[in-house]
Every structure is written in structure tokens, then in C-alpha cells.
Amino acid sequence: MRLLSWAYLAAAYAFVFLPVVVLVVFSFQDGRLPVPPFQGFSLQWYDKILGNGALMTALWHSALVAFVSSALALVMGFLAAHALARVRLPGSVLLRGLLIAPMTVSYLIIALGLLTTFNQAGISLSLWTAGIGHVVINLPLCFAIAYAAMGDHQKNAERAARDLGATEAQVLWHVSAPMLAPALAAAFFLSVTFSWDEFIIAFLLTRFDVTLPVEIWSMLRSGLSPATNAVGSLVFLVSVSAVVLMEIFLFRRPK
């Protein structure tokens, strides 16, 4: 039983890691195809992609839209969570459901709906229209995380602050946000990740200023290439570094 467990664990890790290992290994391929045999170690593909202007622009777009849309989603989600956790509003269950609803709808449908609306309203597509879509998908996430983190402990501290004369803005700024900092940081981080990696909304709602996943998508059209491996490996490296940093600074904080 014990042996079986470890065997299963090993097999699972092998399955999970297989494509990533293949991806990274063949990004160093000294040849034109990222498939066996491995023809030797080369950094030429990294060189190539770092010199690819379109790709670097797309990377910048992705970062921009990820941070801006996540910040917006976080602020709105936090304020809404605060309102629904504090104030007894009529229909608050319904309101909560409405705010969470986009989570259960496929990104494709959200994108299609927005595309229809933007077309009808005569709004031309740009990075910002994709950003709007990203806020739509991240808002429920930020709201849900912030809402779940607001416990009694928090509620009482806010009450105490109000009792001591704090205005609502002061309560939010001096008490709620600092107390929720870990949850808010996690929500922001997750949002950035989702937005950064999101394809279909960005694909349908941008025209010229595309994001990184869309640019990678267009690279795929020309077939297998170690260049794609190199981009994927770089993204992987950056994301994993970010995760490790988050892990160290956010979740390992001494109590």
C-alpha cells in the first residue's frame, strides 16, 4: 500500500511534468524542429525571440492589461465585498449571485457577448476592450476572495474603528485593507495570472495591439518551432519565479 502510494505519486509527477520537460528541453534544440532527436544545445531560439519586436510588444501589452485590469477588479471587488459583508441590503443574496455569476460562464461566451455589444455600440477593438473583458472575469474572483476573508474578527475591528470616529473611507484604508492584505494580495496575484494567460477574450476583443497568448497563437500557425518552446519556457520561468517569490513573502510571513 505504501509502495503503491509512492509509485502513484511518481507516475503522477511524471505525467504532470512530461510536457513541460519536453518543452524546455527542446527550446535548446540546435535544429529546426522541437522533436527528437536532440541535436545539440543552442540558445539561438532565445536569441531569436528576444529580438522579435512583435513578441516583446505583445509581452508588454499582456503585462499592462494584466496589472491594470487586476487592480480595477481588486478595488471594485473589495469595495463590493465590504458593502455586502457589512450592510444589510435588500436582495443581498441575489446581488452576491450576480457578482459571482461571470465565474460560471465560459470566457468564450463573455467574449462573444462583449464583441456583439462593442460592435453594436460602434466601439472599436483595442487592448482596452480586452482589458474590460478581463475585469469582467476577475471581478468575481476578487470579490469572492475578499468576501470569504471577511470574518467576525475583521468585522469587530471595523466596528471599533467606526466607534472611534473613523469615516468609512478611513475604516477601509486604515483597518479593512491592511487586515485583509494577504487575501487581497492573493486575489490580485491570481487575477494577474489569469489575465496574463487569458487567450480567447484577448483574441476576440483586440485588433492590432495583441497580447502574448494571442501572439503565441499566431506563432503556432506556422507549425512546430523551437522558438515557440523558447517563449513558453521563458513564460514558465518568469511565472515560477513569481510564484516562489509570492510563496516566500506572502504565505511564509512569520505570524
Partner 1 sequence: MTASLSIQSVTQRYGTALALDAVSLDIAAGEFVVLLGPSGCGKTTLLNLIGGFAEPVSGRILIGGKDMAGVAPAQRPTTTVFQDYALFPHMTLADNVGFGLRMRGVARPERRAKAEEMLALVGLPGKALRRPHELSGGQRQRVALARALAVAPDVLLLDEPLGALDLKLRRAMQDELKEIQRRVGTTFVHVTHDQEEAMAVADRIVVMNAGKIADVGPPREVYLSPKSLFSAAFMGEINQIAVRDGQSALGALVPGTGTLLIRPEAIGLNGALPLGLCRVEDVAFFGTHVRAHVTPLKAPGTRLTVHLAQTLSVEPGAVLDLAATDHLMLEEE
Partner 2 sequence: MSLHAAERKLGWGLLAPALLWTLAFFVLPFLAMLALSFAHMEGRAIVQGFDPGNYIRAFTDWSQLKALINSVEITVTVTVISVVLAWPLAAIIAWRVPQRFQRLALLMAVLPFWTSYVVRSYSWLLVLGKNGVINKALMGTGLISEPLALASTRTATVIGFVHFFVMLLTLTIYANLIQLSPNYARAAQDLGAGDWATFVHVILPLTLPGVITGAFVTFVLCIGDYITPQILGGNAELTLPQLIMLQMGRSGNFPMASALSVVLMAVVTLAYAACSRWLRLDRL
Rule CB under 8 A: which residues touch partner 1?
152-153, 156-157, 159-167, 170, 174-175, 178-179, 181, 255
Q: Does 14 help bind partner 2 (rule: CB under 8 A)?
A: no
Estimate the crossing angle of helix 212-220 against helix 226-246, to 10 degrees. 150
How far apart CA 65 and CA 70 sit, in angstroms, is: 8
Q: What is the 8-class DSSP label of residue 124?
A: P
Residue 173 interacts with partner 2 (CB under 8 A)? Answer: no
Element (H, E) at 32: none
Of residues 157 and 190, the one with the C-beta less far from partner 1? 157
Residue 253 C-beta: closest distance to partner 2, Å: 14
Q: According to CB under 8 A, which one of 94, 147, 181, 250 is a site residue for partner 2?
A: 147
Q: What is the DSSP letter of 199?
A: -
Q: How far is the CB of 154 from partner 1 (least distance, A)?
A: 9
Minimal distance, residue 150 CB to partner 2, in Å: 12
From the list 44-52, 53-61, 140-148, 179-187, the region that binds partner 2 by CB under 8 A is 140-148
Nearest CA to 193 among 37, 22, 73, 55?
A: 73
Residue 153 CB, nearest distance to partner 2 (Å)?
A: 19
Question: If DSSP codes are grouped into helix, strand and coil, which group holds residue 91?
Answer: coil
Of the candidate spans 40-48, 49-57, 128-136, 149-157, the one that interacts with partner 2 by CB under 8 A turns out to be 128-136
Cβ–Cβ under 8 Å, residues 202 and 214: yes
Yes or no: say if 44 and 30 are a contact pair by the CB < 8 Å rule: yes
Partner whose binding site includes residue 123, from partner 2, partner 1, none (CB under 5 to 8 Å by kind): none
Beta strands in 53-126 (DSSP E): none
Within the chain, what is the greatest distance between any pair of CA atoms?
72
Q: State which of residues 55, 184, 192, 212 lies at the interface with partner 2 (CB under 8 A).
A: 212
CB of residue 12 vs partner 2: minimum separation in angstroms?
Answer: 5
Please give the residues from 35 up to 94 whose contact with partner 2 meets the rule CB under 8 A: 35-37, 75-77, 79-80, 82-84, 86-87, 89
29 - beta bridge partners? 41
Q: At what angle do helices 226-246 and 177-197 cross, to 10 degrees?
A: 170
Among partner 2, partner 1, none, what does residue 159 contact (CB within 5–8 Å per kind)? partner 1
